Amino acid sequence: MNLLVDAFAWIFAPARLTGAVPLPTAIAQQLAFTFGSVLIAALIAIPIGWSIGHTGRGRETAVFISGAARALPALGVVALLLELIPVSYKTFAAVVAFVLLAIPSILAGAYSGFEAIDRAVIGAGRAIGMTQWQILVRIEIPLGLALLINGLRSATLQVVATVTIAAYFGLGGLGFYIMQGLANRDFTQILGASLVIIALALILDGLFVLLARLVVPRTEARRSRRSPAPPVATNVAGSIA
């Protein structure tokens, strides 16, 4: 119990605002790596996932690639990239590793969101004369947002925790304190930095929950609470609106 109290005291100590890497700076670095990597991964994975979900082609390949990427150890990927590219590009190597970590969850969320839509809703859209582009924009994307946001949420939580290894290569972040604590056998510092990482993860998780409630269409929320599903005409009208 004393160690936990000491860890909180370490977090809020005035000394955390000074030193080689002040705590606010380390938090900013942790978030910059996280948001930058997830954004790049989203720009890659979401269009591919939407294409797979809309056309139904390439799903097996996507599942295989996602599974393979998920199995890659982030630390090993960064170490390998640092061996292959100049040391001056170590930030690039770390970001590539974090992007590879984020892509599988986002990709799965993107195409699974489309696959979860009732095919009768898509058929009704075609029956009233909607083009493929209109079906994509007015039906599939809005109704697939829930699972996409879950994919982004999962990817963000994975990355924000894994970014800690960036400090192993001198790239800063909250891992700096953990590496320093391990070297000095300072368990209070290790626990304090770990608590900050946990707090960041919980805050980000809460923000994604709030985002899901704000962004996901009300029609989708109603559909998810009903069984059996409401009439097709009601779903289509709600989605187009």
Task: Give me the helix-helix angle, 23-55 and 59-71, nearest 10°.
Answer: 160
CA torsion through residues 59, 64, 69, 70, sign: positive
Task: Give me the helix-helix angle, 90-115 and 74-84, nearest 10°.
Answer: 130
Residue 135 has pLDDT above 70, yes or no: yes
Cis peptide before 142 (omega within 30 of 0): no
Express each pLDDT in 160-208 by its tens digit: 988 988 888 888 889 999 999 998 888 999 999 999 999 999 999 999 9
**Arithmetic mean of pLDDT, 123-149:** 86
Task: Confirm if 33 and 92 have CB atoms less than 8 A apart.
Answer: no
Express each pLDDT in 27-83 by its tens digit: 999 999 999 999 999 999 999 999 888 887 877 887 787 777 777 777 777 777 767
Select from 56, 88, 75, 67 the least CA-distant residue to 161. Answer: 75
Give the pLDDT confidence score for residue 68 in this predicted structure: 75
Other CB atoms closer than 10 Å to residue 69's CB: what's the count? 17
C-alpha distances in angstroms, 65 versus 105, 192, 201?
Answer: 12, 37, 26
Q: Where are the domains of the chain?
A: 2-240
Express each pLDDT in 76-102 by its tens digit: 777 777 677 776 778 888 888 889 889
Span 2-240: which CATH code?
1.10.3720.10
